[in-house]
Amino acid sequence: MNSKKSIFSMASIFLFIGIAVFSCGKKEGNSNSGVTSEYYFVYFGNYGSSTITAFWLQDSGYLVSLNPSNIATGAGTSSINDIAVDENSSYIYAANRNSGNISWYSVSPISTDNTSGNISFESYSNTTSGTTAIKIHPDGNYIYSVNATALSNNLNSFAVNTSDGSLAASATFYNARTAPYDLEFTYGGTYLHVVNRSTSDITTYSVSADGTLATLNLSDATATNPEDILRFPRSLDNLSNVLYVAGNGDNRIYIHNVNLLGAVTPASTAYVNAGNGLKKLAITKSGSYLYATNNTDNTIGIYSVDNQGIPTLVSSLTGPTGAGVYALAVSPDDKYLIVTGDSNSKAYVYEIDSSTGLLTSTGVEYNLGPNPRSIVIVPLSVVE
């Protein structure tokens, strides 16, 4: 751990002075090797301040602030509840709950002029009130949002101009149940599933090639007051996908299978218990470990996942005092779990033991804006 701290100190002094600084970051090839190298950048959506805080994630597990580190969401936007990145790592999108719109930002590629990973506000498109979550279709051509207020209770879709990241000026609207709160695609993007907080169920839509949705099933029972839905990161077999749903009302993680026709059914183990105030889920790219934040208990649940996608609780890690753990994300190389404290507006990085899934803190906290409730980790590549 001491060696990591010394690396962190050096990187703080030489903050983004050209591409050479990245030699101690995530790297696949040597300098001038002609090999493509990949670096990770982390962006936090701060609900309370309507800002995005940006960092570079070093290979050592430490975060280095970008300059500027805090980016305004743009005039006419407020209260970031969710953020997402396109498959080319060129644009970040934010769901702004109180202003009822989606804003987007261009991401600067790796460069030698101190701008690597910087983001710039571009514009926004209106949804309806209470935009809680967004998801980009795997083909990158459409983005979808859910809007959870009594005035909306609907689902929106926008066409994406992939040349400049912009969204269509107007949305296509679809009916949802009461308080649709989060959404997720099945493997390949054939079906879209929405969890409805107030009705405690899942609505399933088929997705056509032109982005149009058709309702397959309005209501499949799931967790009580669900606030998060997550897909297993790869197809387990040719017949099914696995979805995890976090129930804030009953503090359980429900497991569902989805067949080739989009039908949602309970898994052989219908649910596993979590801690109090269950909020968010994250899973390693390998699918071996699942993590859950329990906001009321201020704990992180650590689960191993078997070859059927069923999680088993391994351990429960107490978060930093007063943090109120909330959002979380796993780095693309499965080395680190990044967690936010909604109560103290901090970020924390934990090293993941690849053999057990257990977490070890890197020992540093990072200042964010008030109520950081979303995280996205963006990989940027460069040939060196």
Q: Percent of the chain having pLDDT more than 70?
A: 91
Strand-pair partners of 158: 143
pLDDT of residue 17: 37
Please list the residues that pair with 156 across neighbouring strands.
145, 173
Which pLDDT does position 31 carry in this prediction?
55
Q: Does position 1 have pLDDT exceeding 60, yes or no?
A: no
Question: What integer pLDDT is reported at residue 33 of this predicted model?
Answer: 66
Q: What is the pLDDT of residues 228-253, one digit of tens each?
A: 999 999 888 878 899 999 999 999 99
pLDDT at residue 69, rounded to an integer: 95
Residue 28's pLDDT band (cuts 50, 70, 90) = very low
What is the strand order of the sheet 201-207 is part of?
A: 180-185, 191-196, 201-207, 213-221
Q: Give 303-328 pLDDT, tens digit per residue.
A: 999 999 999 999 999 999 999 999 99
Transcribe 233-245 into DSSP letters.
SS-SSSS-EEEEE
Residue type, 37: S
Q: If you search the block for the tokens 């499949």, which residue do you land on? A: 220
More confident residue, 19 or 245: 245
Give the separation between CA 311 and CA 244, rounded to whole angstroms: 10
State whether residue 2 is helix, strand or coil. Answer: helix
pLDDT of 10 over the 60 cut: no
Outline where 14-88 has alpha helix (H).
none
- Give pLDDT, residue 3: 38
Asked if pLDDT for residue 27 goes beyond 80, the answer is: no
pLDDT at 12 over 60: no
More confident residue, 25 or 189: 189
Task: Report the half-sphere exposure of 37 (CA within 13 A, side-chain side).
Answer: 22
Token pair, residue 167, equals 């969204």
The per-residue pLDDT for range 139-195, each reduced to its tens digit, is 999 999 999 886 788 999 999 999 999 999 999 999 889 999 999 999 999 999 999
For the residues 21-41, what does the mean pLDDT come to? 65
Distances 168 to 121, 125, 149 between C-alpha atoms, Å? 16, 7, 23
The structural domains of the chain, ordered by start, are: 2-383 (2.130.10.10)
pTM here is 0.92
Average pLDDT over the chain reads: 91
- pLDDT tens for 323-339 read 999 999 999 999 999 99
**pLDDT band for position 32 (cuts 50, 70, 90):** low
331 with 377: CB under 8 angstroms? yes
The string over 187-226, giving b where at least 16 C-beta atoms fall within 10 Å of a residue's C-beta and e elsewhere, is: beebbbbbbbbbbbbbbbbebeeebebeebeeebebbebb
Residue 91: pLDDT band (50, 70, 90) is very high
**Could you tell me the two tokens for 59?**
């290979």
Provide the pLDDT for residue 384. Answer: 78
